[in-house]
Structure 1
Amino acid sequence: MSDDPISNDLRQAALVSKAWPYEEARKLLKRYPRGKTAKDGALAPVLFETGYGPSGLPHIGTFNEVQRTTMVRHAYEELTGAPTRLVAFSDDMDGLRKVPDNVPNQEMLAQHLGKPLTQVPDPFEKYESFAHHNNAMLCAFLDRYGFDYEFVSSTEMYRGGQFDEALKGVLRAYQAIMDIMLPTLRKERQLTYSPVLPVSPKSGIVLQVPVEVIDADAGLVRFVDQGETIEQSILSGGAKLQWKVDWAMRWVALGVDYEMAGKDLIDSVTQSSKIARALGARPPEGFNYEMFLDEKGEKISKSKGNGLSIEQWLTYGSEESLAFYIYREPKAAKSLHIGVIPRAVDDYEQFRASYATQAIDKRLGNPVHHVHGGKVSQDSLPVTFGLLLNLVGVMGADATEAQVWAYLRNYAPGASAEDYPRLAGLVRNALAFNRDFIAPTLKRRPPSENEAMALRELDAQIAASPDDATAEDIQNIVYEIGKDPHYGFEQLRDWFKALYETLLGAEQGPRMGSFIALYGIENSRKLIAQALDAVPAG
């Protein structure tokens, strides 16, 4: 929680803001009008939780919940000034159900199917277990972003006895939980369903078998394992719970006040909420967000590995642009693939540039307010990321950072990586994006006869431009040529499209005035000459 004082103006604006984090935070304000209190009457932190299943490598969809939940957490702090906590919970006591497609040593993993993930060897041979490996990857990324969170391991909670009282409560409410769950299951599943999954003392596998409660207060159950009837305590790691029951038990044991979930878990939220009430507790507030889709429109899956990895986004775009993309329209399905990164970077920068001059109500609705927790610096960039991509596109796959900065100084005299550290990061992103995705696809087409005439006129006019001609001056030249009926363009966009395809080898592009000013008039004239050389003879 921030120690900074919260202004009354900000609080009043937040109380009526339509930005979704404030709408979510107001649910908690309604839940605790006078703040959350502990059993001793003292003010207690409101507890936010995010859940993570470490059965596959973390991806942006996994990270998304922590980012969005943090935004709601900060909004609640702005509204109330009250203390909060964020728990990142790993369900690493879960059994390995299938071998992920995107990890090594798959034959080895197949030998451990059904065992708790913390008992499955790490296929990367770096950590104590597969869960420890994936948990470490998750925490490393959350740490990189500077999230304020507490990592909690399901295995440690079960085995350490912290869930024991809640587990006894599950056994006491066993029939009530069965009455909630059985109507939601297929008839054949009803015959074997149990809220409790004992860990086999023989194989170490998390068993899916019917269970009989022997003594709820002692935590004793009876079940059959490989033909043998066994009585075993479910306490201190002797069992885990079925997913929906486990979720509800966790809410109760930890005192969770807020947890969001994907749209695919609406049924789970409904059933887990009923179970939490059967256990004598109030389920947390939250909402269901839409899922990210890959470029084929398919749901992103950890086991398939068909989504972007965290490192992929950071190779081609900024950290802030990732958080910005995650903020936008959480209840709308969005594609999440390499192609969305350039637009996300430029949209983020545009919102950031406008933040400083906005009234407070507009600031609270600006995505960057939530990306940065209300602390948005007022620096701006001299060029857009899209313009950078066009620049490195014409420079070729072998372009270097030093060469890019030389061009940038045409546009912003004296510009350096030291003066523009964020731009320095985007230069590296642009070079990587160009190398891997733009350079292999660029193909300049020859201009048509009327396009060639227009290009010759453009060449002549920029050649005659004064040395101090601005990007806007050059843009006006481009406009006037495109509007001149002599060159036969039905619409101005046809002229722009011709410039992009003949000079840049792309279907879309930047403001040409800005590009020419950045690339330099002499270099731009060389591009025009190359295009005109491609015009067929005769």
Structure 2
Amino acid sequence: MTDSTLIAAAKTSKAWPFEEARKLAKRFPQGKPGGEPVLFETGYGPSGLPHIGTFQEVLRTTLVRRAYEVLTDGAPTRLVAFSDDMDGLRKVPDNVPNGELLAANLGKPLSRIPDPFGKYESFAHHNNAMLCEFLDRFGFDYEFVSASDRYNSGAFDDALRNVLRNYGAIMDVMLPTLRAERQATYSPVLPVSPSSGVVLQVPVEVVDAEAGIIRFADEDGSTVEQSILGGQAKLQWKVDWAMRWVALGVDYEMCGKDLTDSVTQSGKIAKILGGRRPEGLIYELFLDEKGEKISKSKGNGLTIEEWLRYGTEESLGFYLFREPKSAKQLHIGIIPRAVDEYWQFRERLAEQDLDKQLGNPVWHLSRANGGVAGADAPGAGDKLAVTFGLLLNLVGVLGPRATHDQVWSYLGNYVHDANPADHPELNNLVDPALAYNRDFVLPTLHHRAPAANEAAALKALDGELAELPEDTAAEDIQTKVYEIGKDEAFGFESLRDWFKALYETLLGSSQGPRMGSFIALYGIANTRKLIEEALSR
């Protein structure tokens, strides 16, 4: 496959990262002027610890970045992870220690509040360190930029003067979008009180734009004339976003649907400041299992740690890749399916034509951190010997005291040379399966007694299994199961009813695996014991 072939396919691919990349190619048909790298940005509010939303934004932006590099045959790019750590702390987070310390510093810039964890220079420095550790853990290629560093060092001073020069025009954009009471106190510039250090939400008067001097009323009512340069002020959110786009030269930034209006207003302000709104994707927000919007205060979300406890990093990336413009539920129950669907796409990748590969999430995920994509990607075409769903069913029947080693002893019924070292991907799923089963499956299991016709069918299945050697192939066992379900003597209206009876009487669940595979995995003798237990009910 030549690069020209890949580029040609990328130009017509319907995969969303390529659709986004083509926006940038259209923005810079000859490349960015002066050979400058195209700048991708993600934003992070360090008032709390990094979460799944932080991960998805960096991942999705990285996927667009890599797609753009393919489309342009390696045009230079950069990714900046920007921390809004000059923001004033509005409320005390629920998930940090020493809340009293934070409460005593409400309103101050996050980078000027002591670290409640007692490890870093400030609360923002702690959370910024967690962000970098978080992004490094997943191998992202990025540059960290702190708002406090830019404001305090004077790097934003010229941009701040530009805001003061265009103060009236910016107010003309913002005031019509605000309620009357908010209009009375609104200012694009938020001075830091010289007496308390709090970021003030007060009207300001521009005294000297070139010198950066404004006039405002401090918290005690006194009139203050103060520079906004060198960290003595920050900008209101939408103005700050626009200023940053222009000052840093941002070409691409995506955001959630809740910021749609912000994109519009910030885009207008960026134009006033002499710049250009970046390209970007507005993605849908996640919902909980009840279909309600996820809220930090409600605690109805899902953390990265939770996902990785019950699933894998690859399955998380796979789930976040798909359909970013559609609202999707994000809760524990989606993890098993995401794990197995990731592997289905990974297995197909090596055999797919190029155009299909470019639409395969695994193609994009394997490139995200500089890896090789397509049929040559490490692991492309691999197949799990046992699906995660089937592994969960095995663990479910083994009960609450199942161990990692015990699971592998049963995998020996199904996997040739069942050695964890030879099957690292499968081995990595055993502990998540044990955890998921313990926390979410076992509490819901209920083994009901079989009805009369079901009991007769189970006895027939037991008789068939008694005639089979222990190493009978899963397909041959499945054939026997089918034949019993189709036998009119047992009165099942459909095979679905027969399998439902098997799941509910043997496994304690209304849904289950392909029974031939399960029996081969669990063992014929062990399955006959399950049938005996069911019949005894």
Per the normalisation by structure 1, the TM-score is 0.96
1:443 and 2:443 aligned: no
Conserved? CA contact 1:101–1:305, under 8 Å: no
**What is the aligned partner in structure 1 of residue 379 from structure 2?**
377
**What is the aligned partner in structure 1 of residue 211 from structure 2?**
218
Aligned residue among 27, 31, 40 for 1:48: 40
**What is the aligned partner in structure 1 of residue 32 from structure 2?**
36
**What is the aligned partner in structure 2 of residue 307 from structure 1?**
301
- Gaps of at least 5 residues in structure 1 are none
Question: Displacement, 1:467?
Answer: 4.3
Kindly provide the amino acid, as one letter, of the partner of residue 255 in structure 1: G
Conserved? CA contact 2:447–2:506, under 8 Å: yes
1:71 and 2:73 aligned: no
Aligned residue among 182, 194, 211 for 2:175: 182
Aligned residue among 216, 233, 236 for 1:239: 233
**What is the aligned partner in structure 2 of residue 463 from structure 1?**
466
Deviates more, 1:298-307 or 1:399-408: 298-307
Equivalent position SS for 1:410: coil
Conserved? CA contact 1:369–1:376, under 8 Å: no
1:14 and 2:17 aligned: no
CA distance in 1, matches of 2:91, 2:303: 20
Conserved? CA contact 1:167–1:219, under 8 Å: yes
Conserved? CA contact 1:114–1:205, under 8 Å: yes
Measured on the aligned residues, the alpha-carbon RMSD in Å equals 1.4
Assess, with a 3 A threshold, how the Cα gap between structure 1 residues 428 and 184 changes in structure 2: closer, same or farther: same
**What is the aligned partner in structure 1 of residue 193 from structure 2?**
200
Per the normalisation by structure 2, the TM-score is 0.96
Conserved? CA contact 1:57–1:302, under 8 Å: no
Equivalent position SS for 2:214: strand
Question: Displacement, 1:493?
Answer: 1.0
CA distance in 2, matches of 1:531, 1:124: 54
CA distance in 2, matches of 1:215, 1:231: 10
CA distance in 1, matches of 2:378, 2:480: 37
CA distance in 1, matches of 2:455, 2:525: 18
Kindly provide the amino acid, as one letter, of the partner of residue 396 in structure 2: G
CA distance in 2, matches of 1:10, 1:463: 56
Question: Displacement, 1:6?
Answer: 7.0
Question: Displacement, 1:127?
Answer: 2.9
Assess, with a 3 A threshold, how the Cα gap between structure 1 residues 189 and 442 changes in structure 2: closer, same or farther: same
Aligned residue among 244, 269, 272 for 1:250: 244
Equivalent position SS for 1:151: strand
- Gaps of at least 5 residues in structure 2 are 368-372
Kindly provide the amino acid, as one letter, of the partner of residue 92 in structure 2: V
**What is the aligned partner in structure 2 of residue 61 from structure 1?**
53
Question: Displacement, 1:304?
Answer: 4.2
**What is the aligned partner in structure 1 of residue 318 from structure 2?**
324
Equivalent position SS for 2:32: coil
Q: Which runs of 4+ in 1 moved over 6 A?
A: none
Aligned residue among 368, 380, 385 for 2:362: 368
**What is the aligned partner in structure 1 of residue 370 from structure 2?**
none
Question: Residues 115-514 of structure 1: matches in 2 within 5 Å?
Answer: 115-225=108-218, 226-373=220-367, 374=373, 375-378=377-380, 379-514=382-517
Say how many residue pairs are matched: 526
CA distance in 2, matches of 1:100, 1:301: 13
Kindly provide the amino acid, as one letter, of the partner of residue 12 in structure 1: A
CA distance in 1, matches of 2:529, 2:345: 35
Question: Displacement, 1:376?
Answer: 4.8
Conserved? CA contact 1:193–1:210, under 8 Å: yes
CA distance in 2, matches of 1:123, 1:399: 40
Equivalent position SS for 2:434: helix
Conserved? CA contact 1:368–1:376, under 8 Å: no
Equivalent position SS for 1:440: helix
Conserved? CA contact 2:50–2:134, under 8 Å: no
Assess, with a 3 A threshold, how the Cα gap between structure 1 residues 127 and 482 changes in structure 2: closer, same or farther: farther
Kindly provide the amino acid, as one letter, of the partner of residue 379 in structure 2: S
Conserved? CA contact 1:352–1:376, under 8 Å: no
Percent identity over paired residues: 71
Question: Displacement, 1:398?
Answer: 1.4
Equivalent position SS for 1:85: strand
Kindly provide the amino acid, as one letter, of the partner of residue 30 in structure 2: R
CA distance in 1, matches of 2:285, 2:2: 34
Question: Displacement, 1:66?
Answer: 0.4
